[in-house]
Chains A and B, each alone.
Chain A
Amino acid sequence: MAGSQDLGSRGLITILFLLCLTCPVTDVNAQAGEKPLRIFGYFQNTFQHQTESQDRFIDGVFVDNWDNSENSFTAQQLNLFFQKDIDPKWRAFVNFEFLNNFSSSRQQGNASLEEAWIRYRANSTFNLKLGLLLPTFNNLNEIKNRTPLLPYIIRPLIYETAFREFIAVEDYTPQRAFVQAYGFLPAGTLNLDYAAYLGNSPNVRTLEQEGQSGTDSTDTFLVGARLGIRYGELKTGVSVTRENDNQLDGAFDNPDLRQLAFLTSGRDPGNASASRFREVPRTRLGFDLSYYWHGLSVEAETVSFKVQNESELDIERSFYYATIGYEVTDEIFIYGSYWKTDDKTELFDLDLATADFKIPTVGFSYRVNDRILLKAQYASGDLEGTEVRVNAAGTEAALFRATNKFNFFATAVSVRF
């Protein structure tokens, strides 16, 4: 089980089941203007074949390698939406998400409450969402988990939760916010889009003395916005967020890291206090572009992420993706895409860790009907990571390097209900 909002219990299933059972009678108490509760959603099942190999080096000398091959059927994702129009201006929306064969009894998979918001719609120029929501950032962030909309089985790197072990996916894009105003302003043949949101800084740090499990005890906010322009089928925008990071708070409590800092920089971290890397400012800057012309579509995004605390800590992450697709017929869509991440952590001007991911991929989707989408995808990727560590004796720093290569083939069926 992973994720801060896991609801991993049989209680969740029971509640959902009861909600489904009570749905048909919900309009017994409906007021004028209310519509019945709507329940809908989708799921995606996959078959994946994956091969992976890794070579490891220390200070440039080969150490060992391994390779691995996997075949797997998976219920990759199921999303269940509950939507209620309270009146023409107000809509409530809840999104439960289940990942990877979720089972509470076997302690595997993941179930989470992804969205629970109420929206006030004044008009197309002003909408206000209140509650747990997926904030607008670039093109994909809001719809990254809507599998029927995406031709991909593995999504572009930072949007693929399965890569969480390799990539700090939560860092690249804002994962959740709690207030968002958005809309668009028509200006002749242009539409000017805007979205502005507020949430928590991303660290759930339950303080022992507070002891309220599951609440975010950070006292700083995430602030973000996207400004965009649409002209016909050309759509582009700039996104930005600002928040504070506590993830490396207390990093120098680790004796190896203290020794490493001393060995590599000659600087003693000193009497590092727990607050040394508390509330370090971090920013994201994103740019998105998409265009559609007679069945040909182009989509591209960049994300730049930075955490900086004077000269002591500097984390820089960047992501690029571009996809070119073509609708061969109303049913068949083919695409090629390229994804890349660069990740670098500097401590006292030392390159403490780096990670570079490159994946070219191709695939196609076939729309059987409005509700069933078949997908196939092939990807071949390289991951190279380095990390400086102190040797066993604690007297020298050594550069550990690993290179991974993998090939991935998957088929999937995405069903909307």
Chain B
Amino acid sequence: MKLLLPTIILMLFQAGPGFSQVAVIANKSVPLDSLKKVELINIYTGDIREWGNGAAVLVKDLKPKGPTKKAFYKFIGKSSSRMKSIWLKKLLSGEGDPPEALESEEVMINSVANSPGAIGFVSQSKLTPNVKTLLVIDE
């Protein structure tokens, strides 16, 4: 019984960063090892569509409005509806296509791992070695 309170506190302490740390991941073909916030925003708003080697950027998004998506969108300073509006403008201007919205973080990792030039985001606890991490978002 004496150990219960410290155990709960420890669990909460560990669970907190686990849920709120989001990793921006990329396919291993991407010629970058890190990414600045402003570059990430330009990629997700469709302004940057090529990597440094000229290969196309394939942007991936998450469908569920869970804590990972919430933390990622908060980091880039956009609401879900704002992002939809930005992408719709690109689509209807003939300037770009909306990102593929994936069902889960597991699907996101597989999709990024298997699509050259792909970029996405998952919670850090879900990371696997078949993708590279470009940025870790600490919230």
The interface of chain A, by Cβ under 8 A from chain B, is: 42, 81, 83, 88, 91, 93, 95, 115, 117, 119, 121, 123-124, 142-143, 146, 148-149, 184, 186, 188-189, 191, 232-233, 292, 294-295, 327, 330-331, 367, 370, 416
Once bound together, how far apart are the Cα atoms of A327 and B89, in whole Å? 17
Taking CB atoms, residues of chain B closer than 8 Å to A233 are 77
Mark B65-93 against chain A: 1 for CB-CB distance below 8 A, else 0. Answer: 00000000000010111101100110011
- Bound CA–CA A88/B38 (angstroms): 24
* Chain A residues whose CB sits within 8 angstroms of the CB of B79 once the complex forms: 294-295, 327, 330
Q: Known A189-B38, A295-B79; judge A148-B92 contact (CB<8 A).
A: yes
Identify which of B42, B47, B54, B89 contacts A146 (C-beta below 8 A). B89
Complex-state Cα separation, A170 to B94, whole angstroms? 23
Contact A83 B77 (CB under 8 A): no
A81 touches B94 (CB 8 A): yes
The residues in B between 30 and 71 inclusive whose CB is less than 8 angstroms from any CB of A are: 38-39, 42, 47-50, 54, 56
CA gap between A119 and B84 in the complex, in Å: 24
Partner of A119, one of B48, B50, B94: B94
Q: Are A330 and B92 in contact (CB under 8 A)?
A: no
Question: B48 is contacted by which of A124, A189, A295 (Cβ under 8 Å)?
Answer: A124
Closest chain B CB from A335 CB (angstroms): 13
Nearest A residue to B50 via CB reads A123
CA distance A93 to B77 in the complex (A): 31
B92 contact from A88, A91, A149, A189, Cβ within 8 A: A149
Which bucket holds chain B's interface residue count? Answer: 20 to 34
- A186 CB contacts on chain B under 8 angstroms: 38-39, 42
- Chain A residues within an 8 Å CB radius of B89: 143, 146, 149
Q: Which chain B positions have C-beta within 8 A of A117? A: 94
The one of A42, A83, A88 that contacts B56, using a Cβ cutoff of 8 Å: A88
Complex: how many Å from CA A88 to CA B81?
Answer: 28
Q: Which residues of A contact B81 (CB under 8 A)?
A: 327, 330-331, 367
Q: Which residues of B contact A146 (CB under 8 A)?
A: 89, 92-93
Q: How many angstroms between the C-alpha atoms of A42 and B93 in the bound complex?
A: 13
A83 near B94: Cβ-Cβ < 8 Å: yes
Q: Inside 8 A of A327's CB, which chain B residues have their CB?
A: 79, 81-82
Contact with A along B81-121 (1 / 0, CB 8 A): 11011001100111000000000000000000000000000
| Complex Cα–Cα for A148 and B47 (A) | 21
Q: Separation in Å of the B59 CB from the closest CB of chain A? A: 14
The reply to whether A124 and B92 contact each other, CB–CB distance below 8 Å, is no
Contact B94 A91 (CB under 8 A): yes
CA gap between A227 and B47 in the complex, in Å: 16
A123 vs B39: C-alpha distance in the bound complex, in angstroms? 14
A-B contacts besides A115-B94, A330-B81, 15 pairs, CB < 8 Å: A81-B94, A123-B54, A124-B47, A124-B48, A124-B50, A143-B92, A146-B89, A148-B88, A149-B89, A188-B38, A189-B38, A191-B47, A295-B79, A327-B79, A416-B88
The residue in chain A whose Cβ has the minimal distance to the Cβ of B81 is A330
B50 to chain A: which residues have CB within 8 Å? 123-124
Q: How far is the CB of A366 from chain B (nearest CB, A)?
A: 12
Identify the 8 closest CB pairs spanning chains A and B, nearest first: A93-B94, A330-B81, A146-B92, A124-B48, A189-B38, A123-B50, A330-B80, A149-B89
Query: Given the complex of chains A and B, what is the CA–CA distance between A121 and B39 in angstroms?
Result: 19
A330 (CB) vs chain B CBs: closest residue: B81
> What are 13 A-B pairs at a CB distance below 8 A?
A91-B94, A123-B54, A143-B89, A143-B92, A143-B93, A146-B92, A148-B88, A149-B85, A233-B77, A294-B79, A327-B79, A327-B82, A330-B81
Q: Is the CB of A149 within 8 A of B56?
A: no
Measured between beta carbons, the chain B residues less than 8 angstroms from A95 are: 94
Residues of B within 8 A of A330 (CB): 79-81
In the complex, which residues of chain B have a beta carbon less than 8 angstroms from the beta carbon of A292?
A: 82
Q: Which residue in B42, B80, B84, B88 is a CB contact (below 8 Å) of A124?
A: B42
Q: Is the CB of A149 within 8 A of B47?
A: no
A416: shortest Cβ distance to chain B, in Å?
A: 8
Q: How far is the CA of A330 from the CA of B78 in the complex (A)?
A: 12
A370 touches B82 (CB 8 A): no
B47 touches A184 (CB 8 A): yes
Which A-chain residue is minimally distant from B36 (CB atoms)? A189
Least Cβ–Cβ distance between A42 and chain B, in angstroms: 8
CB proximity of B86 to chain A, nearest CB, Å? 10
Q: How far, in angstroms, from A370 to B87 measured CA to CA in the complex? A: 11
* Cβ 8 A contact of A191, one of B42, B56, B84, B88: B42
